[in-house]
C-alpha cells in the first residue's frame, strides 16, 4: 500500500481538466484577467501535468496547433472529432476519412509521444439502435486495431489508448465490456446522473474517469462538495494504490482523472482539492489561482448563477 506521504508519479496518475481554453469562465478566477488568450495553456501548466483537448471534438486541428501543443510540458488526452462519433456515428463508410485526417494532423503530438489517449465520446442517441450501433463500435474497434501497427508500432511509437465514453444506458451490459476487453479499449467511467458510476477496468493498463456532476442538469456547471470529493477519494484510492504498486513491479498501470465542470473554474478547484486529498500529481500552483478555493462543504453545490443546459442541447 502506498504511503499517503508519497506522491504517486505523474507518469502513473494523470489528473487535470477537460480543456483549458475558457476565457469567459476562468479569467479572474483561474487565470489573471489581463492574460492573453494565447497564453492560457502556458498558465494552465502551473497547475497540472495533463489536460484533455476539447477543441479537437469540434474541429480537426491544424498542424500549427498540434505543433504548439507538443512543445508544452503536458500529456494529452485528445477527443476524436464529432465528425466521426456524432455525424458519421462510427459508420466506417463515412467515419474513416475524417478520422484519418485527424490522425494526420495529430502527427506532431504522436511524434513527441505526448498523447496518453484518444477519447471517443459517443452521443446520447448512439445506443438506441442497439444491434446496429454495437456492430458499428465493434467494426471501429477492429479498424483501430488494424491502424495501430502502421501508425505506431512500425514507427516504434508509443500507442495511445482508445477510450470510449458512453452516454446511453443500453451500453451498460456485459457484452459491451466484453467487447472493450477483447479489443483492448478503455471504458470511460463517468460521474453523471444518467449512467451508473461503474468503475470497470477493461484494459488493465489504464483506468479512466471523467467528472461531470450530479442532478438533473449538471453539465459543465457543477461544483462538487468536499463531502462528495472525499467519498470519491475513498473509492479511487485502491485503484491509484494498485497502479502505483504495479509500476513498482515494472508493470504498466495508469490512472486518468479529468474534471469537465469548467464553469467558474470549478474543474480546476475540484481537481486541486482531490489532488491534495489523495496526494495526486499536481504542481504547486494554488497560489497562482486568482481566487482561493471555494468552501467545498457548502450545502448547495451546483451553480445557480448560470443557466444550466441538458447534455442533449450540447450534442
Sign of torsion over alpha carbons 202, 203, 207, 210: negative
Q: What angle do CA 20, 26, 27 make, to 5 degrees?
A: 120
Burial 267-300 (b: 16+ CB within 10 A, else e): bbbbbbbbbebbbbbbbebbeebeeeebebeeee
Whole-angstrom CA distances from 200 to 134, 269, 312 are 18, 26, 25
Taking residue 189's Cβ as centre, other Cβ atoms within 10 Å add up to 22
The low-confidence residues of the chain, meaning pLDDT below 50, are 1-3, 5, 294-315
pLDDT confidence of residue 218: 55
Reported as a single tens digit per residue, the pLDDT across 48-62 is 999 999 999 999 999
Rounded CA separation 241/219 (Å): 30
Grid cell 480543456 is found at 19
Q: In terms of Cα–Cα distance, which of 272, 276, 270, 239 is closest to 256?
A: 239
pLDDT confidence of residue 220: 63
Taking residue 82's Cβ as centre, other Cβ atoms within 10 Å add up to 17
Grid cell 465542470 is found at 261
Rounded CA separation 14/180 (Å): 21
- Grid coordinates standing for 94? 463515412
Reported as a single tens digit per residue, the pLDDT across 170-182 is 999 999 999 999 9
Mark out the alpha helices in 188-295 (DSSP H runs).
226-248, 266-278
Burial 200-226 (b: 16+ CB within 10 A, else e): ebbbeebbbbbbbbeeebbbbbbbbbb
- Percent of the chain beyond pLDDT 70? 88
Q: In terms of Cα–Cα distance, which of 265, 256, 191, 198 is closest to 228?
A: 191
Rounded CA separation 125/146 (Å): 27
Q: What angle do CA 106, 110, 114 make, to 5 degrees?
A: 105
* Domains in the chain: ranges and CATH: 13-314 (3.20.20.410)
Rounded CA separation 267/261 (Å): 5
Grid cell 484519418 is found at 100
- Grid coordinates standing for 185? 479499449
pLDDT confidence of residue 307: 37
Amino acid at each position: 500500500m502506498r504511503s499517503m506521504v508519497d506522491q504517486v508519479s505523474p507518469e502513473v496518475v494523470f489528473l487535470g481538466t477537460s480543456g483549458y481554453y475558457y476565457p469567459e469562465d476562468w479569467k479572474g478566477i483561474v487565470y489573471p484577467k489581463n492574460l492573453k488568450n494565447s497564453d492560457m495553456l502556458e498558465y494552465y501548466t502551473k497547475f497540472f501535468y495533463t489536460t484533455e483537448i476539447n477543441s479537437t471534438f469540434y474541429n480537426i486541428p491544424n498542424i500549427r496547433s498540434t505543433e504548439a501543443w507538443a512543445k508544452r510540458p503536458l500529456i494529452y488526452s485528445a477527443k476524436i472529432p464529432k465528425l466521426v462519433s456524432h455525424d458519421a456515428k462510427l459508420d466506417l463508410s463515412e467515419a474513416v476519412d475524417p478520422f484519418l485526417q485527424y490522425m494526420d494532423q495529430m502527427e506532431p503530438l504522436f511524434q513527441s509521444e505526448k498523447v496518453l489517449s484518444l477519447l471517443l465520446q459517443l452521443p446520447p442517441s448512439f445506443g438506441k439502435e442497439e444491434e446496429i450501433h454495437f456492430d458499428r463500435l465493434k467494426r471501429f474497434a477492429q479498424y483501430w486495431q488494424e491502424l495501430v501497427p502502421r501508425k505506431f508500432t512500425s514507427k516504434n511509437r508509443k500507442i495511445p489508448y482508445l477510450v470510449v465514453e458512453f452516454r446511453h444506458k443500453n451500453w451498460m451490459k456485459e457484452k459491451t465490456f466484453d467487447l472493450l476487453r477483447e479489443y483492448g479499449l478503455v471504458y470511460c467511467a463517468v460521474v453523471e446522473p444518467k449512467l451508473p458510476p461503474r468503475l470497470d477496468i477493461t484494459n488493465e493498463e489504464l483506468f479512466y474517469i471523467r467528472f461531470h456532476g450530479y442532478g438533473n442538469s449538471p453539465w459543465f456547471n457543477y461544483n462538487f462538495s468536499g463531502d462528495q470529493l472525499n467519498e470519491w477519494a475513498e473509492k479511487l484510492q485502491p485503484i491509484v494504490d494498485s497502479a502505483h504498486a504495479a509500476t513498482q513491479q515494472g508493470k504498466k498501470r495508469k490512472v486518468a482523472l479529468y474534471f469537465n465542470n469548467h464553469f467558474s473554474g470549478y474543474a480546476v478547484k475540484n481537481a486541486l482539492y482531490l489532488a491534495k486529498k489523495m496526494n495526486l500529481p499536481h504542481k504547486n500552483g494554488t497560489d497562482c489561482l486568482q481566487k482561493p478555493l471555494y468552501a467545498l462543504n457548502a450545502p448547495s453545490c451546483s451553480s445557480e448563477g448560470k443557466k444550466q443546459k441538458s447534455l442533449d442541447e450540447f450534442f
